[in-house]
Chain A
């Protein structure tokens, strides 16, 4: 910074004369040597040196400047000092060399030199400003900077020169068209098509871009949050009304083939331990949407790939036999690459279908064809010229679907052995999500089931032949009526949470744009609709019957037809304007599009005890191209739109992990964490050190990243150490002893052996039954333990076994409350919290993390990266004495890096000064040697982190990944991960009444606050 300032100053002073003193000229060794005494010689010297002396560029005004070394060498005999103002003079040595008299010529010389110096100073502009800026205010004129002729004539030439300089020149206008031409529809579409080549645009992009802060993420342009202030409004919409989201960026993978083959391929990738898998009956029939967590084949519980949802195509369809099934797997775009590769490997689908040419083409790749047909259109220049020639060109088509797709890249693969076809249907469908209780009403209001085609109407004009064909089949018609009836019933249900989770309803609807209301309004639930109570009850009990889940959206050919035969908005509006009675219902008859859609119920909050079913809603799957046609009608019925931030909020209130941020064990999650850390660090560094928290002093080792691996490792070795030395004299040992006594089972010497060898064993075979281990290998733990950390260092896992989680959640709650006990005791034969039970979990999942939710007891709203700590005994004591006790304080830490940084700075300064001493003539260009040591940042821990768990006064258990003030509960709530080992250790050490209490500490605060931990299943 100071460098730049200096430079600026130097530039400003470059024309100003510097001081000229005699003493600055003499140097002891030289003055005597070159003394000539007379004025003549002085003059002669001067004449000599006048030509050819190049002026060194001083970086600064130098008063008593040491003479530049290079100049010394070059003309040691002549020049003594130089200055910028054009003043040059010869030597006048020390006192004895002072001339006894003054000659007129020297006098004249001196005057002349001074005149020239002053002239230079006066005439040349010295400031950094432009010419017109130096004019006094009253002489300034509008557009002076733009038009040279507005300046006084004496300055015009300088200004001309200035304007020609590259710096001040405006960027060349890249747009070769005028504004009006750019705004015309065709050119705009071309421009939009060009712009979505890099990042995929959703169909609602333009709508979003006008109202949202857009971010480029995961290869898409997505709306992050609305530009209006709407945090609370969005929460209210989710709770009481309806929030709409465009989730079309979610990727869809399609698996087609025999049911057994698909199940066989996918079964190693998921575990029955984590819940229902692909093979569950409800899912397999196509009645429900399932969700599952995928792992690398046979690697459970490690190497997680990510959570996905899936739908099977229902079996009953006229065209298909049960041989060939279709499975759609929906997943987040960050997970797509890994999962696609893994599924391809699992199904042995390596052959891209594109190379085996077009047998399967029609059913697979409408988008490819589309992009192929579009390609020539996008060669802008040619097309336009041809058009000018009179040849009629096709109108430019809007890019629908994935604009970034490369037509030569395969998007589907077939397995030669099993015949399973995998295809990537990303952006082939739209997925809109409606959250909230009013989503029913909005759906039933906005969508009307398609009218069945009757024989009497003329079939010639309509392009929708598939619907006519369907209507000829009485089975299909009756199915359609059945679906319609159920859809009508939905309107009478107050909340989507009442319907069984994941219910799928297929439907064919008419064009939703036709019955668009005149004004934006808000629908209200219509209580009169729910008269047919018997039927509603049946629906709620049994869910939607299997056959109603059928939809034509599964048929690619129909989807393509529907997409292509969409009436454009323009045509529709023109027809509307041609109506005889303005504002009356538009009747298109058979030409009205029939759109097959799929409604999927999204279960809201399924875990925990309170607010069950919060945030439930419906997902609407649409064929591509129809996004905006459905989007606007939904909004006109009172849906509020949310972006990515609202999606995170939704998952936070649902207490479900957010993809990909809350999956630290999958590659996408790791990547996400890295990016987040980088962003936060950048943000942190932008502030001056005094205006940002010093995390070293606050004892926060990892304010931007989550050191999960180190945490779990340390906990393991910690428990190990406790077990090993129960009688150690250290206070830690005593503490653990005390803890142990509270545990129902008494500590025995063999226990330590057990644990340690289990750890050793579990490294090799985590799923092996425990009994085997107990008997074998009693004594070789020592060596095994040493090799342990290195072997498993990269293997982080999150506990997702439902059984273990259930057990944990039972342990976490305070067992004293009679209500809780009454609830829990009969539900299952819960084990008591014993050492054995802990160990059995621990050895199955060594170094695991547990997803927990925390709610604060008192004040405080947690934020991401908040630390979860184990409370000490005295904290409980204080809490029991004073119910309002906030929590203990962390004492301030010392900052060992501060002095280091200061030293570095000083060193740098010295170097700088030295540099300047010898390289003045080089000027600012002479860069200071870059500091070799890596730069320390004030306030951040540099280098490898020390012991994270015991760095502060309370032992660290885990970190919060999402946290905020919860508007639902009215206190701070957080979600995060804790070390399983640590959690069990803590729980077993705590008295039953206070079990499950932890301390939370924000990264920028010293205050610990009490929170209750809960594991929700």
Chain B
């Protein structure tokens, strides 16, 4: 089928200020990126990137952001991202920057990458951890994620209609 081809940019919002996470919303972020593109690439860049541009997923806890743009102009977006230096919301400015983790053609590949990435992060965290209690907690979450993986494999087998029981098991 004929479709619009997109590029998905998986980014990570890195900020020192924890309050930055508070103001992380998709509309704010979308506006920010758009403004930056306009600043960097001018009116042409802004216009060409505005078609099909969207924030598809955003997680304020982990700071993961998934941006969508048309395939033809993703390089404009990519190149504009480093120029984001702060996040502005409701009059507050929080310094931060965006770290591009992955560029994919579908949401699915990005999701797959994100799983791998997060798992690696968790393991790194586990290795570097010193505190005993923390270690235990991390261990727990790591195992949970692994368990989840297994379970989701099961879920995959079970049909979509039978979601509720698997949820209850959780």
- Give residues in A with beta carbon < 8 Å to B: 14-23, 43, 50-51, 54-55, 63-64, 86-87, 89, 92, 94-95, 98-116, 118-125, 157-158, 161-162, 165
Contacts and interface: CB of A to CB of B under 8 A. Distances in A.
Contact of B22 (A22, A107, A119, A157): A22
Given A20-B58, A95-B19, 19 more contacts: A17-B111, A21-B58, A55-B167, A95-B22, A98-B19, A105-B134, A106-B61, A107-B62, A108-B138, A111-B118, A111-B122, A111-B141, A114-B61, A115-B114, A115-B149, A123-B153, A123-B155, A124-B155, A125-B160
Of the four ranges (under 10, 10 to 19, 20 to 34, 35 or more), the interface on chain B belongs to 35 or more
25 contacts: A19-B55, A19-B57, A21-B25, A21-B26, A22-B21, A22-B24, A22-B61, A54-B168, A64-B25, A104-B134, A105-B137, A105-B138, A109-B141, A112-B145, A114-B64, A114-B118, A115-B119, A116-B144, A118-B115, A119-B115, A119-B149, A123-B152, A124-B156, A158-B159, A161-B158
Contacts of B60: 20-23
B2 interface: no
B64 to A, nearest CB: 7
Interface string B127-164: 00101011001100110110011001101111111001
B59 A108 contact: no
A512 to B, nearest CB: 62
A126 to B, nearest CB: 9
Contacts of A104: 125, 129, 131, 134, 137-138
Given A50-B170, A51-B170, A19 B58 contact: yes
A92 B59 CA distance: 14
Interface of B: 18-19, 21-26, 55, 57-62, 64, 107-108, 111-112, 114-115, 118-119, 121-122, 125, 129, 131, 133-134, 137-138, 141-142, 144-145, 148-149, 152-153, 155-161, 164, 167-168, 170
Contacts of A51: 170
A104 B122 CA distance: 10
Nearest to A158: B157
Contacts of A64: 25
B104 to A, nearest CB: 12
A112 B59 contact: no
Max chain A C-beta neighbours (<10 A), residue from B26, B61, B159, B170: B61
Given A108-B125, A111-B118, A123-B152, A17 B57 contact: yes
Contact of A112 (B114, B134, B142, B158): B142
Given A17-B57, A104-B138, A121-B111, A115 B145 contact: yes
Contacts of B160: 14-15, 124-125
A22 B22 CA distance: 5
Contacts of A19: 26, 55, 57-59
Nearest to A85: B57
A207 to B, nearest CB: 48
B59 A23 contact: no
B153 A110 contact: no
Contacts of A55: 167
Contacts of B155: 120, 123-124
B61 to A, nearest CB: 4
Contacts of B112: 118, 122
Max chain B C-beta neighbours (<10 A), residue from A112, A113, A157, A158: A112
Contacts of A22: 21-22, 24, 60-61
A116 B23 contact: no
Contact of B62 (A86, A110, A120): A110
A122 B138 contact: no
Q: What are the 10 tightest A-B residue pairs by CB atom distance, in nearest-first order?
A: A105-B137, A112-B141, A110-B61, A116-B148, A108-B138, A108-B141, A112-B145, A115-B145, A19-B58, A118-B111
B148 A115 contact: yes
A20 B59 contact: yes
A161 B25 CA distance: 40
A94 B58 CA distance: 19
A111 B134 CA distance: 15
Given A111-B121, A165-B159, A100 B18 contact: yes
A23 B22 contact: yes
